[in-house]
Amino acid sequence: MSAAVPPKILQGLVRDLHHVAIAVPDLAGARELYEGALGLTATEIEHVPDQQVNVLVLFAGTQRIELVEPAAEDSPISKFLARRGAGLHHLAWRVDDLVAALAHLSALGVRLIHDTPREGSHGTRVAFLHPKATGGVLMELVEDPAA
């Protein structure tokens, strides 16, 4: 059943897990859980126009969680919430060179949602792989000049 997942497509490209993103209907409510109950350290809420979302980045030590709420009715997160409800949205992997990583994946015939980098939160550049290429889990590649 795993024939749709090409072997080793990200081998040598991935540095580490950059963040885990959770889709939420509203940041304020979710913030109470992650900042309050779990005690994570929150940064400022950032609007990411390219993906029509508001993002709250929280840290547990160096590990990063992103809460993502829709900023428009036709945001991809609105569609996700309508279909699946709040919960895990994607895993984001850090790469050194996003353009090179995307070229590598394209050459392997891996299905991508974005074949060129988009603007992510906090000065990052990001692109998503199609979940059909990654076992049903949405995955993002992140080039982060701050990391």
Residue 6 tokens read as 């090409």
Nearest to Co ion of 56, 107 (CB atom)? 56
Nearest C-alpha neighbor of 123 from the set 72, 23, 55: 55
Nearer to Co ion, 69 or 140 (CB): 140
CB of 83 to Co ion, least distance (A): 18
By CB under 5 A, how many residues form the interface with Co ion? 3
- Shortest CB 136 distance to Co ion, Å: 17
Q: Nearer Cβ to Co ion, position 1 or 70?
A: 70
Residue 21 in the binding site for Co ion (CB under 5 A): yes
- Token pair for 95: 């790469």
- The region, left, alpha or beta by phi > 0 then psi within -120 to 50, assigned to residue 8 is left
**Applying CB under 5 A, does 92 fall inside the site for Co ion?**
yes
129 binds Co ion (CB under 5 A): no
| 75: its two tokens | 């945001």
Which phi and psi angles does 122 have, rounded to 5°? 55, 45
**Token pair for residue 11?**
């081998």
Residues that bind Co ion (CB under 5 A): 21, 92, 140
